[in-house]
Amino acid sequence: MLTEVQNDILAVLDKITANGGQVFKERGIWQGNLEELLKMPQKTPSAHVALASGNFREAQTIPPKTSPIRMGWDVIIVFQCLKDRLTASNQGYGLIESVVKPVSPDGIQIGGLTGLKTQGGMLWPSTLELLDTINGITAYVIRFEIERSIT
């Protein structure tokens, strides 16, 4: 189920477009520390997906029949802007909005990830954080959560 959720997220990131082209030049999974990600050669803007957290709730019955969990999936957005801060912030905000935008109900024009029904449950944004800016390369992380029971 985890692999399927990850693949569902990546599939949507592949389809997010602006001005007739893909928003993210590189998309993939990430495991490791942020410093490595920012130093890694990559085409920007890029988006990386990671299973970041999981909180299990207490069992309601003994023995438990299911394991209720709230999973946190991070989408790390990396972009480079060597111009002024205003230009960099506008670029970053546009990327964030493209990811957080709700899924299109018509199924024709793809939206972002909010409300996406993955094989593991529905994604909903929970947090947004500026991770770092190093030499003009900036990274934001958007956490999306899924609540479900694992049987």
Domain that holds residue 132: 2-150
SS3 label, residue 16? coil
Q: Do residues 151 and 65 touch, judged by C-beta distance below 8 A? A: yes
Write out the two tokens for 129: 């954080």
How many domains are there within the chain? 1
Q: What is the pLDDT of residues 75-130, one digit of tens each?
A: 999 999 988 888 988 999 999 999 999 987 765 556 799 999 998 899 999 999 99
pTM of the model: 0.88
- Residue 109: its pLDDT value, please? 55
- Residue 131: its pLDDT value, please? 92
The C-alpha atoms of residue 136 and residue 141 are separated, in whole angstroms, by: 17
For residue 90, the domain's CATH number is 3.30.2000.10
In 30-136, where do the E strands start and end? Answer: 46-56, 67-80, 117-118, 121-122, 124-134
How many distinct helices (H) and strands (E) make up the chain? 3, 9
Long-range Cβ pairs for the range 85-89 (8 Å, 24+) = 88/133, 88/136, 88/138
Q: What is the pLDDT of residues 40-59, one digit of tens each?
A: 888 999 999 999 998 887 77
Alpha-carbon 79 to chain mean position = 14
